[in-house]
Chains A and B, each alone.
Chain A
Amino acid sequence: MSIREATIAVNRFGLGARPGDIAKISKDPRGWLKGQLKPDAPPIREFAALKPSGETIMMLAALRKGGAEVRDQRNQMQRDTYKVEMAARCLVAVRTEMPFRERLVRFWSNHLAVSTSRGEVRSMAGAYEREAIRPWVCGKFEQMLLSSARHPAMLVYLDNLRSVGPNSKVGSKRERGLNENYARELMELHTLGVRGGYSQEDIIELAKILTGWGIERRDGIRVGFQFDGARHEPGNKTVLGKRYREGEESGRQVIRDLVHHDSTGKLLATKLARHFIADDPPPKAVDRIAKAFKSSRGDLGKTAEALVDCPEAWEKSLTKLKTPEDLVSSTARALGYDTDGLPNLESVKYLGQLPFSAPSPQGWADRAEEWLGPEAILTRVEWAEQVGMESTERIEDPVGFGEDILGELSKTTRRAVASVSKSDALALVLASPEFQRR
Chain B
Amino acid sequence: MFNRRTLLKSMGAGGLLALARPEWSFAAAPGDVRLVVMLLRGAVDGLAAVPPHGDFRYEKARGAMALPRSGSEGGVIDLDGFYGLHPSLAPLQPLWESKELALVHATALPYNDRSHFDSQDVLENGTDRPLGSRTGWLNRALVGKTGEPAMAIGRTVPLILRGPQKVTSADPLRVWKPDNALLNAVADLYEADPQLGPALEIGIQTQAMLDVHRGRMRDAKRQKKRDFEKAARVLGGVLAADDGPRVAVVDLGGWDTHTGQSNGLNKLLEGLAGSVVGMREAMGSTWDKTVVLAMTEFGRTVHANGTAGTDHGTASFTMLAGGAVAGGKVYGEWPGLRDDQLFEGRDLQPTTDLRSISKGVLMAHLGVSDSAIEDSVFPDSRDAKPMLELIRS
Contact = CB atoms under 8 A, between A and B. Distances in A.
A416 B181 CA distance: 12
B258 A433 contact: no
A416 B306 contact: no
A163 B307 CA distance: 7
Contact of B156 (A166, A371, A385, A416): A371
Given A378-B203, A412-B188, A194 B115 contact: yes
A431 B185 CA distance: 10
Contacts of B192: 412
Contacts of A431: 186, 189
Contacts of A189: 117
Interface string B198-209: 011011101100
A377 B199 contact: yes
Interface string A348-388: 00001000000110100000111111111111011011000
Contacts of A180: 305, 311-312
A194 B195 contact: no
Contacts of A117: 254
Contacts of A129: none
B203 A159 contact: no
Given A179-B311, A359-B253, A381 B170 contact: no
Contacts of B191: 412
Contacts of A164: 306-307
Interface stretch (A4-12, A62-70, A143-151, A170-178): A170-178
Interface stretch (A29-37, A81-89, A103-111, A420-428): A420-428
A169 interface: no
B183 interface: yes
A179 B257 CA distance: 11
Given A194-B115, A200-B114, A433 B189 contact: yes
A223 B162 CA distance: 46
A413 interface: yes
Nearest to A428: B185
Among A381, A416, A427, the one with the most B-chain Cβ atoms within 10 Å of its Cβ is A381
A194 B169 contact: no
A323 B42 CA distance: 24
Contacts of B340: none
A399 interface: no
A436 interface: yes
Contacts of A373: 152, 154-157, 168-169, 199, 203
B193 interface: yes
A167 to B, nearest CB: 11
Contact of B168 (A178, A370, A374, A379): A374
Interface residues of A, number: 51
B361 to A, nearest CB: 24
Contact of A375 (B113, B156, B179, B188): B156
A308 B204 CA distance: 40
A179 B259 contact: yes
B171 interface: yes
Contacts of B183: 381
B199 A374 contact: yes
B147 interface: no
Interface in A221-258: none
A377 B196 contact: yes
Interface in B149-174: 152, 154-157, 162, 168-171, 174
A247 to B, nearest CB: 20
B176 interface: yes
A326 to B, nearest CB: 15
Contact of B309 (A179, A362, A420): A179
Contacts of B207: 378
Contacts of A178: 305-306
A285 to B, nearest CB: 20
Interface in A193-207: 194-195, 200
B284 to A, nearest CB: 26
B114 A378 contact: no
Please provide the 6 A-B residue pairs with the shortest distance between their CB atoms, ordered closest to farther: A177-B306, A374-B203, A373-B156, A373-B169, A376-B155, A377-B199
Given A159-B307, A179-B311, 9 more contacts: A159-B259, A179-B258, A179-B306, A181-B259, A359-B41, A360-B253, A382-B178, A424-B181, A431-B186
20 contacts: A159-B258, A166-B306, A176-B307, A177-B307, A178-B306, A181-B256, A194-B117, A359-B41, A360-B256, A362-B116, A369-B162, A372-B195, A372-B196, A374-B168, A376-B156, A377-B203, A381-B200, A420-B185, A428-B182, A428-B186
